[in-house]
Amino acid sequence: MELFLSGFTQMLDPIIIILIFIGVFAGIIFGASPGLTAAMGMSFALPLTYVMPPLQAIALILGLYIGGASGGLITAILINIPGTPACIATTFDGHPMAAKGNPAKALGYGIISSFFGGIISLIVLTFASPYLAKIALEFGPTEYFSVSLFALALIAGLAGKSMLKGLTSGVIGLMLATVGQAPLDASRRFTMGIRGFNNGFQLLCALIGVYAISEILKYAENGDDGTDKGLKNVKISGLGVKLKDFAGQWINVIRSSLIGVGIGILPGIGGATSNLIAYSITKKTSKYPEKFGTGIKDGIIASETANNAVSGGALIPLLTLGIPGDAGTAILLAAMTLHGVTPGPLLFETNGNLIYSIFTVLFIANIAMMILEYFGMKIFVKMVQIPKCYLLSTIFILSAIGAMAQNNRIFDIWAVLIFGFIAYILYQFDVPPAPLIMGFILGPIVEINLLRGLMLTEGNFLRFFDRPIPLIAILITIFYLGYTFYHSIMAILPKTEVAEVH
Amino acid sequence: MFSKYKDIILGVVLLIITGIYYSGTFMELKFAMSDYGAAFVPRIYTGMAAIISILMIITGIWKIKTNQIDSKKNRLNKKNTKKVITVISILIGYVLLLPRLGFLIDTVLVLIVLINVLASEKTLKLKNVMLYSVIAGITINWLFVKVFYLRLPVGIIGF
């Protein structure tokens, strides 16, 4: 309690609060701009923190981290282009709700859900981090493989009308992820002698290509087809939603937050998958799964609570073990180390008040995120009223520069175009793009952990089942796939009978 | 016509890609650290993709036989296909010209052309489009070069 109070008093410094707001504001802009990521913003801000005391530096970087985690929802909802990979599932129901004339409501659900996700993960981080970190340490390759395999199986739930088309998209994502260096022996695969392929494709390039470039091509094809009519002449008052609108959603909020925290704790899997997993599970357990994708609040809440809960989850291994869970926490680790703070088990004993200051920074950052997004809503909606030809052309330039910024090579813009063209061709065949991204993200994780697991078990796959987590995860995966296949076959069969009668 | 055979075409294309992908698993450089080399997992994916593509073809044939064809009209027509191809050419042209013209000039030119092509049915004032493109190009260039210290292709103008 003493440590908590001491940590909290340090936060009364107005400079720290201002830095949190600046960080969150910048994070929202980075998160909302397709092609720019929170991690990029954090790395740009890192040199600025050299001259700051440790807590001020951490406040700025954490602000960027929290703002970036939430900012992606703005473009995901308003223009159907997720600002970050963590907001892919927000497009499924967020954009349809906005296009129906309720952009304020869609943004309101997204903003409040982001806040809930952030706060729930903060509670878990404050009270359970040492215990959860111990569990995370128990995770070996077989556990990682089985959990990633389960996440991959969820592709079947993201497939939309045709499961087979969802699986097609997923397997294309898996294949594209194998281009470049093999994970264990660094052999070059599928490079076709092209130098740019040697390092494979970056996730950011895949995301921008699949969502931004294909959106430009779809606009060229369909023009202003009236689907976004609901976004014109919208008047916004308040947050668009009230707390009572969340009635019946609390299980969804808590479940999706825990999914986000759970995925955040596991280094390497990252927030990009949490929203899709939470969305898929919410859809599967819903009483009205057929309404998902039409613009219902359940989908937005699942996606946005999960992706923001990742931020707290990812801080657990960072603070307790010194292991960063994603790119954002890796930069945070760098910022802390630069200022002489070494995260790890000893941090809680030697620098307890700093830990509680960090928790307070997170709390204030979540509030700042809600305030800034609330006041920004009118501007965000105005932004969409810019003619789409201007908006999409500018997004293309930002996407190109964002892709190039990662490694400073023009090949990454080519990669963006390749993914964009593939997504556009798949769109012509009604193949959904989200499973492709899911396969692309999870493919390397599944591969490296399968190979490591096989090396550990001397090639005996059955020994994966010796440990409880892989056993349970693989059994759930088999059950889930069987259940999904059964339901998709049952959905087709009555049609056949009707066709035969006619 | 395309709508009718959509699933079959998709299945066949995926099967061909799978075949090419499979042949690629024999071409990698080998530094085998274990029995499970770089080709192990891609070959599992090959099997998965082959099964999916065959199922897709069977489903496509079955849909035609049971008359469960998507009645939606094909989205692409002569007019919009031309526009899509033009946009694709502009995007490819942008990347090709980037190292030669530099970020600033290439961006301004592409913005002018792309905005006009995407808005071809609306009457946009060329003066406004040009003004927007120049301001957007200069602002983005300044932001990324001066604020974020990114190295962008300078091309012929040298800055």
Whether residue A143 contacts residue A467, with contact meaning beta carbons closer than 8 Å, is answered with yes
Q: Is the pLDDT of residue A498 over 50?
A: no
Query: Using one digit for the tens of pLDDT, what is the confidence trace for A197-245?
Result: 888 898 888 988 998 899 899 989 887 766 666 666 666 666 778 888 8
The answer to whether A454 contacts B42, with C-beta atoms less than 8 Å apart, is no
In a domain, B22, yes or no: yes
Q: Is the pLDDT of residue A303 over 90?
A: yes
Measure CB to CB from residue A164 to each of B56, B75, B111 and give the nearest one.
B56
Distance, CA of A178 to CA of A182 (rounded, Å): 7
Question: Do B139 and B98 fall within a single domain?
Answer: yes
Question: Do B82 and B60 fall within a single domain?
Answer: no
Q: Is 0.90 surpassed by the pTM of this model? A: no
Question: Do B102 and B139 fall within a single domain?
Answer: yes
The answer to whether B98 contacts A410, with C-beta atoms less than 8 Å apart, is yes
Q: Which residues of A452-474 are buried (b: 16+ CB within 10 A; e: fewer)?
A: bbbeebeeeeeebeebebbeebb
Q: Which of B23, B52, B109 to mutate to test the interface with A (most CBs of A within 10 A)?
A: B52
Query: Using one digit for the tens of pLDDT, what is the confidence trace for B64-112?
Result: 887 766 656 566 676 788 899 999 999 999 999 999 999 999 999 999 9
Chain A residue numbers with beta carbons less than 8 Å from the beta carbon of B118 are: 216, 219-220, 388-389, 392-393
CA distance B156 to chain A (A): 17
Question: Do B137 and B86 fall within a single domain?
Answer: yes
What is residue A502's predicted lDDT score, i.e. its pLDDT?
A: 41
In a domain, B148, yes or no: yes
User: Please, what sign has the CA dihedral across residues A61, A63, A66, A69?
Assistant: negative
Query: Using one digit for the tens of pLDDT, what is the confidence trace for A468-480?
Result: 888 998 898 888 8
On whether ipTM exceeds 0.90, the answer is yes
Q: How confident is the model at residue A152 (pLDDT cuts 50, 70, 90)?
A: confident
3-state DSSP assignment of residue A76: helix
As a whole number, mean pLDDT of residues A63-67 equals 91
User: Beta partners for A180?
Assistant: A189
Query: Using one digit for the tens of pLDDT, what is the confidence trace for B128-158?
Result: 999 999 999 999 999 888 877 788 888 777 6
In a domain, B72, yes or no: no
In a domain, B104, yes or no: yes
A367 touches chain B (CB under 8 A): no
As a whole number, mean pLDDT of residues A400-428 equals 90
In a domain, B70, yes or no: no
Write out the residue range of the structural domain in which residue B55 sits: 2-65
A188 touches chain B (CB under 8 A): yes
Query: Using one digit for the tens of pLDDT, what is the confidence trace for A336-378?
Result: 888 888 887 777 777 777 888 888 899 999 999 999 988 888 7
Chain B residue numbers with beta carbons less than 8 Å from the beta carbon of A33 are: none
Q: Between residues 24 and 63 of chain A, which touch chain B (CB distance below 8 Å)? A: 44
A221 touches chain B (CB under 8 A): yes
The answer to whether B49 contacts A175, with C-beta atoms less than 8 Å apart, is yes
Q: Give the orientation angle of helix A352-384 with respect to helix A297-321, to 10 degrees.
A: 150
In a domain, B128, yes or no: yes
Which of the pair, A341 or A491, is modelled with greater confidence? A341
Q: Per the structure, how many domains does chain B have?
A: 2
Q: Is the pLDDT of residue A5 over 80?
A: no
Whether residue A36 contacts residue A402, with contact meaning beta carbons closer than 8 Å, is answered with yes
Q: In which region does residue A232 sit, left (phi positive, over 0), alpha (psi from -120 to 50) or beta (all else)?
A: beta
The answer to whether A389 contacts B87, with C-beta atoms less than 8 Å apart, is no
Question: Do B82 and B151 fall within a single domain?
Answer: yes
Q: Is the pLDDT of residue A262 over 90?
A: no
Q: Where are the domains of chain A?
A: 14-236+243-501
Cα Rg for chain B, rounded, in angstroms?
A: 24
Strand locations in A97-167, DSSP E? none
